[in-house]
């Protein structure tokens, strides 16, 4: 949990003019349960929440709502927002970890403002000044709340992506012996020069170790294949060829292949097949196996 994020949020909330907040909260508190339930409904309607909606019971939702209401009530009374701010940050981080679509979440919770407005009018309709104050309070409050959740979401999401990328990169290259004489090397994630060298070495060692004569290298999981990366794979193929092993490259889409050719990459040096399955079949053909279809 980021303390700087929640501290900033707490300050921003404390800076909202007190009377605006009180006017807003007066109307909001009365209808809190109703508004909150509606908001949760909208949120759980999102596909990403599908699993959770079933796990969280109505009871648990009610308990949570009450807890938040008390937190808010206390904050408005005392002017100290630390606890609520931390809750906002935690929410944002949760959505970030879940990989939620920010746009759909924002749309879902924006519905809250629309729901509260009639309640504000109902409670403060008699006094224009009060109504204006309440609306200003609502705007200021939701601005900070949504911005805090949004920011925590972004920070969490970015760090989650980075962690995932690092994990993918650090996965020791899995070279899988499939049959006698055949190896499969699935490549996932970003391939830079350093990793390309690692992959090549791992493949060559595996070829020697398992005495393979065909290797299928699948690059479906490589997000971008520019001419540099393509040249790395060409080098891998040539090195394996020096060891007497044929390399079949799969997962290179026709679109990318075309782009590479345009860039001057000599793809004739590569033996490419569309997908991994096709590559394995081609490998078996080369190894001299007969592949027979087993009718189900």
Contact residues: other proteins, CB under 8 A = 197, 200-201, 204-205, 207-208, 211-213, 235, 238-245
Q: How far is the CB of 203 from other proteins (least distance, A)?
A: 9
Report the residue number, 13 or 230, with the smaller CB distance to other proteins: 230
Phi, psi of 216 (to 5 degrees): -105, 115
Tell which residue, 35, 24, 43, 41, has the closest CA to residue 115: 35
Report the residue number, 3 or 201, with the smaller CB distance to other proteins: 201
Q: How far is the CB of 247 from other proteins (least distance, A)?
A: 12
**289 in the Ramachandran plot: left (φ > 0), alpha (ψ -120 to 50) or beta?**
beta
Report the residue number, 39 or 203, with the smaller CB distance to other proteins: 203
Q: How far is the CB of 93 from other proteins (least distance, A)?
A: 34
Report the residue number, 64 or 197, with the smaller CB distance to other proteins: 197
Report the residue number, 201 or 277, with the smaller CB distance to other proteins: 201
DSSP 238-262: HHHHHTT-EEEEE---HHHHHHHHH
Q: How far is the CB of 166 from other proteins (least distance, A)?
A: 19
Q: How far is the CB of 208 from other proteins (least distance, A)?
A: 5
Q: How far is the CB of 196 from other proteins (least distance, A)?
A: 11
| Residue with tokens 């009060």, as numbered in its chain | 130
Q: How far apart are CA 280 and CA 203, in angstroms?
A: 16
Tell me the CA distances in angstroms from 193 to 53, 249, 285, one per residue in order: 45, 18, 32
Q: How far is the CB of 20 from other proteins (least distance, A)?
A: 57
Contacts of 51 (CB under 8 A, 6+ apart): none
Tell me the CA distances in angstroms from 138 to 10, 70, 71, 120, 133, one per residue in order: 16, 18, 17, 9, 9
Tell me the CA distances in angstroms from 188 to 61, 90, 104, 148, 196, one per residue in order: 40, 31, 29, 34, 12
Count CA atoms within 13 Å of residue 295 on its CB side: 0
Report the residue number, 68 or 213, with the smaller CB distance to other proteins: 213
Report the residue number, 243 or 263, with the smaller CB distance to other proteins: 243
Question: Is the dihedral angle over the CA atoms 58, 60, 62, 65 positive or is it negative?
Answer: negative
Q: How far apart are CA 137 and CA 131, in angstroms?
A: 10
């Amino acid at each position: 949990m980021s303390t700087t994020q929640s501290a900033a949020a707490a300050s921003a909330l404390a800076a909202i003019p007190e009377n605006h907040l009180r006017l807003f909260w007066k109307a909001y508190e009365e209808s809190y349960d109703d508004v909150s339930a509606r908001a949760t409904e909208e949120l759980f309607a999102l596909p990403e929440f599908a699993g959770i909606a079933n796990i969280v019971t109505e009871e648990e939702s009610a308990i949570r709502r009450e807890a938040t209401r008390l937190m808010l009530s206390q904050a408005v009374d005392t002017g100290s927002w630390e606890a609520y701010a931390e809750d906002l940050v935690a929410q944002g981080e949760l959505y970030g970890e879940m990989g939620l679509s920010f746009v759909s979440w924002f749309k879902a919770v924006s519905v809250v403002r629309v729901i509260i407005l009639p309640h504000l009018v109902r409670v403060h309709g008699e006094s224009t000044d009060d109504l204006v104050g309440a609306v200003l309070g609502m705007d200021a409050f939701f601005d900070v709340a949504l911005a805090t959740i949004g920011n925590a979401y972004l920070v969490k999401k970015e760090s989650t992506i980075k962690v995932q990328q690092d994990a993918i990169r650090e996965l020791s290259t899995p070279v899988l012996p499939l049959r006698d004489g055949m190896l499969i090397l699935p490549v996932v994630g970003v391939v830079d020069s350093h990793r390309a060298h690692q992959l090549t070495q791992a493949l060559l060692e595996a070829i020697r170790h398992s005495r393979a004569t065909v290797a299928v290298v699948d690059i479906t999981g490589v997000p971008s294949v520019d001419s540099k990366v393509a040249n790395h794979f060409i080098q891998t193929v040539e090195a394996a060829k020096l060891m007497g092993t044929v390399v079949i490259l799969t997962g290179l889409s026709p679109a990318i292949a075309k782009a590479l050719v345009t860039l001057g990459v000599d793809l004739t040096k590569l033996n490419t097949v569309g997908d991994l399955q096709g590559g394995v079949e081609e490998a078996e053909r080369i190894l001299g196996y007969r592949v027979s279809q087993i009718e189900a």
